[in-house]
Structures are given as C-alpha cells and as structure tokens.
Amino acid sequence: MHISAFDFELPKELIADEPLEERAASRMLVVDRGAACFDDSQFERLPELLLPTDLLVVNNTRVFPARLLGRSDTGASVEIFLVSENADGTWLTLAKPAKRLKPGRRVVFDEQFDAVVEDRTDDGRVIVRFGQENVYDHFERIGRTPLPPYIKRDPHEADSDRERYQTVYARERGAIAAPTAGLHFTPAILDRIRERGINIAEVTLHVGYGTFEPVRAEDLSQHTVSPERYEISAETAEMLNEAKCNGRRIIAVGTTTTRTLENALANSDSFAAGSGYADLTIRPGYGFKAIDGLLTNFHLPKSSLLVLVSTFAGRELIMRAYRHAVEERYRFYSYGDCMFIS
C-alpha cells in the first residue's frame, strides 16, 4: 500500500498549538471497529466507556528539555536538538545551522556547559560530545521543552510548556516528545478509572525522533520506524499476562504504548519483563497480538502514526473518522483532541 492512501485535507486553523486550560476538557471521537461507526463525545466520559475488567496501559516516560540554545566559537547562534545518546557517550542531534558545525567546532551554552562537534552524518545530523558530566542536570537547567516544530514559541520566553507538555504520571526521564494521548488524563480521571475496578499498568518507551520522522518511501513496505528504548517491569508483565490469559481487554494509551506492547509479543506468546529497543514498524497487513483498544490523538496526514492507527481499526473507517473530525472542527496533533477505538 502507498502512503498517499493516508492523506487528507487539514485546515491549518485546526492544528492545536496551545493546550486547553483543562487537560480533561478535550473532545473525543469514539470509534467502534465492529460496527464500523463513530460518535462524538468528551474525554471525561472515558472511564464509563471502559469495562471493569479492562487493563489500561500508559507510557510513563518523562520528557526532558532537549532543545539547547548556544553559540559556536565563531559567535554564531546555534540550536541543538538532542535526538538520542550513543553508546560511547556522544549525542546524535539536529542542529541549526548544521552547515556551520564542522567537526572540532565548540558550542558554548553558558559558563558551566559546552560541547564539541565530533562528526556529521550523511543525512546532515550532528554528533556532539558534552564537556561535563551529569549532562541531564545541565539539560534541566538550561534546556527548553522540545515542542513539535509546528508550535511556534519564542525560545527566550518563559517555558510555560514545561509542565503542560508532560503527562501527570510521567516518571522515567528520557523522551524528546510527549506520549500525547496521555496529556488528557488528570489525577481525578485516573481515580474514577480505578474506582470502577479497572487496573492501570505502566510501561516505558522513550519517545524519539523516529516516532515523528516523515515517511519518505511511497511504498509502505519500504518504510521503517527507527528503534526506541523501552522497558516493561515484572509487575506490568504479570498484569498483562493475567489479562491475556483471562480474556480481558488491554487498552493502550497512545501509539507509543501500542508499539511497546506489540513489540513485546513480536517473537513471543507472552509478555516478559525487560528492556531493549522497540524496532517494530506497524503497517497494513500486520496482525495485532497485544492490544484490544486504543486511545490516541489525531495525527498528521501521511504519517507513520496514522498508518498504525489505520492498521488497527481499518483504513476506510479511520479515514472516514478523520474527515468527520475535520468537518466537526476537532483539534489536531499534540495539544489536540483524541479518539478512543474499541
């Protein structure tokens, strides 16, 4: 199948570049795969749409301030966007302007923190090594929230997104983007879910650049999503296996949770505790083994995330749902509304 089959018209004014004042105030499109239909609703109704026997699984990754502003040793302003840490302690980054950052060039962020450019990749990314230890402490001190590029914020303004672009259950630091389906939850909503007897399990997948990287191959069989680090605890593995054994639904909050759970069953019939890299690419023809339901935001046209959701619910149904969402003026992308698919 070709990526062009996942295109749709999206008016720019429907792209949400600001969060709602209340997290749980988002609208929610409820999609029934069996009946091939959907209804307009509100996220606050999610606890009542879940079954008491369901297992809800969330991604507890925490976004760190991965956007660094500094100056090269020539005095030029430089922006470093951290993509991932390499095994040798260097970092793969996206840099602006990358063409000025040749190997050996030094970048100074402040009097306490700097980096040296070690190499450049064939696709224009920059590999840097920081001159100090405890780099995450420095990231937290001087870094900016790594918002998606369509959200325009003055980097010198107060970082008002630092708390809002984070789930209320975020604990494990390591993501460069939020698992956005989780942004709708509040402690009160989670309490209502637990009051109905529904268990909540946590996995960790550190959202990386691969989740949002454009699909560059027209033929989806030629497209792969870059690996991302994940971890499943012993407690969560036990909860997942118990749910599967007893025929209970597993409801994933977000595509990152989905990728974690499906990757865990890629070569096994049961969940196991452990960590590694999720390297699964979900495309048409894939048979889901782990999840029975999915809460997800509305994604970009021709994106790997839209392909994943369409593979789960059916392309025709999802594309109809997306056209409906546009007609009804739903809010799209990270700070936008959501869809519950069962």
Q: What's the CATH code, domain 3-63+164-341?
A: 3.40.1780.10
Q: How far is C-alpha 142 from the geometric centre of its chain's CA atoms?
A: 23
**Per-residue model confidence (pLDDT) at position 157:** 56
**CA-CA distance, 87 to 200, in Å (whole number)?**
33
Domain ranges of the chain: 3-63+164-341, 67-143
Do residues 300 and 149 make contact, with C-beta atoms less than 8 angstroms apart? no
- Maximal C-alpha separation, the chain: 64
**Per-residue model confidence (pLDDT) at position 209:** 83
| Cα dihedral 35, 37, 40, 44 sign | positive
* Residue type, position 22, single letter: E
CATH class of 67-143: mainly beta
**Per-residue model confidence (pLDDT) at position 100:** 83
**CA-CA distance, 223 to 14, in Å (whole number)?**
28
pTM of the model: 0.95
Please report which residue ranges of 215-254 form alpha helices under DSSP H.
Answer: 234-245
Do residues 21 and 166 make contact, with C-beta atoms less than 8 angstroms apart? no
3-state secondary structure (DSSP) of residue 155: coil
Residue-by-residue pLDDT tens, the chain, 342 positions: 999 999 999 999 999 999 999 999 999 999 999 999 999 999 999 999 999 999 999 999 999 999 999 999 989 999 999 999 998 999 999 999 988 899 999 999 999 999 999 999 988 899 999 999 999 999 999 999 998 878 877 655 546 788 999 999 999 999 999 999 999 999 999 999 999 999 999 999 999 987 778 898 999 999 999 999 999 999 999 999 999 999 999 999 999 999 999 999 999 999 999 999 999 999 999 999 999 999 999 999 999 999 999 999 999 999 999 999 999 999 999 999 999 999
**CA-CA distance, 99 to 95, in Å (whole number)?**
9
**Per-residue model confidence (pLDDT) at position 156:** 54
